[in-house]
């Protein structure tokens, strides 16, 4: 399980508006950080045109490389740390360009551009 990989992850149980069910997620945690069996992830959801205005929703194209079957959005506002037990299967990996865009979304969501 490495940074940039896309995995199908079981996100349930959830509460409130948290992203639910089993879905693709991208690992964003550094490979060399942490001793616990946890990874920091960002869930992916199907792209909607209204997401264009939400700069924290990063478009990710469907491709054989990403393993995604449809255009998706990395929801950087839903970043979280999860147990590796929730990880079901690796489905792909994102490009460096896509990971850089996700980093920009994370900086916006976490207000790191001070």
CA atoms within 13 A on the CB side of 22: 10
Asked which of 3-7, 32-36, 87-91, 95-99 is least confident by mean pLDDT, the reply is 32-36
* Rg (the chain; Cα; Å): 13
Each residue's pLDDT tens digit, 29-62: 999 887 899 999 999 999 999 999 999 999 999 9
Name the more confident of 17 and 73.
73
- Confidence tier at 15 by pLDDT (50, 70, 90): confident
Q: What pLDDT, on the 0 to 100 scale, is given for residue 114?
A: 59
Q: Is the pLDDT of residue 113 over 80?
A: no
What are the phi and psi torsion angles at 81 (to 5°)? Answer: -100, 130
5-109 topology per CATH: SH3 type barrels. (2.30.30)
């Amino acid at each position: 399980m490495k940074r940039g990989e896309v995995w199908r992850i079981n996100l349930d149980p959830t509460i409130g508006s948290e992203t639910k069910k089993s879905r693709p997620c991208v690992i964003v945690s550094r490979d060399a950080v942490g001793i616990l069996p946890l990874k920091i992830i960002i869930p992916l959801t199907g792209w909607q045109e209204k997401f264009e205005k939400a700069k924290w929703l990063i478009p990710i194209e469907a491709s054989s490389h990403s393993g995604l079957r449809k255009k998706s959005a990395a929801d950087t506002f839903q970043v979280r740390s999860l147990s590796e037990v929730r990880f079901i299967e690796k489905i792909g990996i994102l490009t460096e360009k896509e990971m850089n865009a996700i980093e920009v979304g994370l900086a916006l969501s976490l207000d790191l551009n001070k």
